[in-house]
């Protein structure tokens, strides 16, 4: 009897094991999950945090400015007798190499203010005083011409034109002495730009000399005292009337050519007569 019971239990156990299934639990991936291979940073490649934009240096900006305006400066040197190196250095300094608000919004590269005789477009900007009036030009070349008109038309700058055109150091200091700028370091700043960027080479191109010290202060003049670029140097006894008659101009025409409103002339002052 005991054997039968044991045999029955053994058979029941075997049947139970044969009918059971082995269950393997797996872990499901989250919905939307996707395998991604790690991004490899190739040799010399930029990471996401590295900027790919190029930073423009100050020297590049200045050199770009010089490339754009050196021909205007040399042309003005030939016409008005102002060294191209001085013109460019002043333009760079006064306009931040063309990046100032006045240069970008008004084509005013020399910070020339309106004054009473200005009838052109205007722009207002805080300077020595609030909301000051500055001249606005259609083109930067007009600003360059106006700069020449200021220097050739004001009596206080007449002494500059007795200096050698190749002596940029004397011109830089002469501008300060004549009251062009109040900054005591103004001459040194101009000279620094000229020597850093070799602006004196443009003077050499105009003068045709390899040594700026070779130039003399004497102008090559014709019988009327006009130099080769159409400027007349005021002599003792000259008046607006006598000069205008000499060159078949009216007094008003002579004043307009030189952007003058005053009635006084100084010995050594240059007037445009052609």
Give the domain 218-274 fold: Membrane-bound Lytic Murein Transglycosylase D; Chain A (3.10.350)
Looking up tokens 């020339």, which residue turns up? 112
pLDDT in tens, the chain (274 residues): 555 555 555 555 555 554 444 443 433 333 333 323 332 333 333 333 333 334 557 889 999 999 999 999 999 999 999 999 999 999 999 999 999 999 999 999 999 999 888 889 999 988 878 889 999 999 999 999 999 999 998 889 999 999 999 999 999 999 999 999 889 999 999 999 999 999 999 999 999 864 444 443 334 344 444 444 568 888 877 888 788 888 888 888 888 888 787 778 888 788 888 7
The class that CATH gives domain 58-215 is mainly alpha
CA distance 236 to 266: 8
Query: What is the residue extent of each domain of the chain?
Result: 58-215, 218-274
What residues contact residue 101 under an 8 Å CB cut-off, 6+ apart?
A: 125
* Cα(23)–Cα(67) distance, integer angstroms: 82
The pTM of this model reads 0.59
* pLDDT tens readout for residues 104-120: 999 999 999 998 888 89
């Amino acid at each position: 009897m005991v054997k039968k019971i044991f045999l029955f239990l053994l058979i029941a156990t075997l049947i139970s094991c044969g009918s059971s299934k082995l269950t393997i639990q797996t872990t499901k991936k989250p919905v939307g999950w996707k395998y991604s291979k790690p991004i490899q940073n190739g040799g010399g490649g930029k990471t996401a945090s590295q900027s790919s934009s190029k930073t423009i240096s100050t020297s590049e900006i200045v050199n770009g400015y010089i490339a754009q305006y050196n021909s205007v400066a040399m042309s003005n040197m030939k016409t008005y007798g102002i060294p191209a190196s001085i013109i460019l250095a002043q333009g760079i300094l006064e306009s931040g190499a063309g990046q100032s608000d006045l240069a970008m919004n008004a084509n005013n590269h020399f910070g020339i203010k309106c004054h009473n005789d200005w009838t052109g477009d205007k722009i207002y900007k805080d300077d020595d005083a609030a909301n000051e009036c500055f001249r606005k030009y259609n083109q930067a070349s007009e600003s360059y011409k106006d700069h020449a008109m200021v220097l050739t038309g004001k009596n206080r700058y007449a002494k500059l034109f007795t200096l050698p055109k190749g002596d940029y150091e004397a011109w830089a200091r002469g501008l300060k002495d004549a009251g062009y700028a109040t900054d005591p370091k103004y001459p040194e700043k101009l000279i620094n730009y000229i020597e850093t960027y070799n602006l004196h080479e443009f003077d050499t191109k105009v003068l045709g000399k390899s040594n700026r010290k070779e130039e003399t202060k004497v102008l090559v003049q014709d019988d009327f005292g006009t130099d080769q670029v159409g400027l007349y140097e005021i002599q003792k006894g000259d008046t607006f009337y006598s000069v205008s008659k000499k060159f078949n101009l009216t007094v008003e025409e002579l004043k307009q050519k030189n952007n003058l409103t005053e009635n006084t002339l100084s010995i050594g002052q240059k007037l445009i007569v052609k």
